[in-house]
Amino acid sequence: MSPLAIHMFPCLADNYGYLLHDRDTGVTAAVDTPDAEEILAQLAAQGWRLTHILNTHHHADHAGGNLELKRRTGCTIVGPRADAARIPGIDVAVGEGEVIALGPHRATVFDTPGHTRGHIVYYFAEAAAAFVGDTLFAMGCGRLFEGSPGEMWSSLQKILRWPDDTRLYCAHEYTQSNARFALTVEPGNQALRKRAEEVAQLRAEGRPTIPSTLGAERATNPFLRPTSNDLQATIGLSGAAPVAVFAKTRALKDAF
């Protein structure tokens, strides 16, 4: 079995597009469809034919290219059962614990409500890769448009069960501004300070900061660190429950 090829490219203002490809079978999936024309151009450049779309959620910068790509390629659209009515052209609805096959490669679906009520993520355990949409960002997390802090914290805890070496492919390049916020709520975190400098260097060179790894997020992402003494003290919630610390951190970020 050949390894799952992952091709990433920037599109729209700050999105990343992803194409997944199995060389042996030719199966090729787009994770979300921010820009149909750009995805078609990237497919042509790779010499790949689109067979699947894996949607994480219904927002236009994630599912807006679905119908055009389906019309042009006849691909199968996979998306969240909890939001099937809002996923254009959906063929296969999936939810918590179900497995999607791309040739020999398997992704487990996790329901991660919070950013939207139907958000899902795709976890390729064998490839140590996960496509987390707008649930988790490098040093950040998605805004809570349709969910409570408690729902989002439960969703993030599912991700926290994966191994540290899991590569996290999030949908936006928000890392540098996330780092600026993270430093305000956890100023004593040395790993965070070091990473913020590395990110500034990468962006100065015009390079992506994605994928991240779960290990790096565990060490530097304030939304995954509600038990940090430094974070709790800085936001005035020493000894508080993790969900309360998460909620306040999210509220502070919204106002940042």
We find the least distance from the C-beta atom of residue 171 to Zn ion, in angstroms, to be: 7
Residue of 21, 59, 105, 119 with catalytic role: 59
DSSP letters, 73-90, are H-PEEEEEGGGGGGSTT-
- Catalytic site includes residue 134: yes
- Catalytic site includes residue 62: yes
Residue of 22, 32, 61, 111 with catalytic role: 61
Contacts for 252 with CB less than 8 Å, ≥ 6 apart? 181, 184, 185, 235
- Would you say 83 or 134 has its CB closer to Zn ion? 134
| Closest alpha carbon to 129 in 4, 1, 254, 255 | 4
Residues 38-67 that bind Zn ion (CB under 5 A): 59
Residues 7-26 that bind Zn ion (CB under 5 A): none
Q: How far apart are CA 176 and CA 201, in angstroms?
A: 10
- Residue 134 as a binder of Zn ion (CB under 5 A): the answer is yes
- Catalytic site includes residue 115: yes
- Would you say 134 or 173 has its CB closer to Zn ion? 134
Q: Which stretch binds Zn ion (CB under 5 A): 39-47, 132-140, 173-181, 237-245?
A: 132-140
- Would you say 3 or 145 has its CB closer to Zn ion? 145
| Closest alpha carbon to 123 in 168, 90, 91 | 168
| Residue 138 CA: distances (Å) to CA of 7, 11, 70, 72, 251 | 19, 18, 31, 33, 18
- Contact positions toward Zn ion, by CB under 5 A? 59, 134
- As annotated, the active-site residues are 57, 59, 61-62, 115, 134, 172
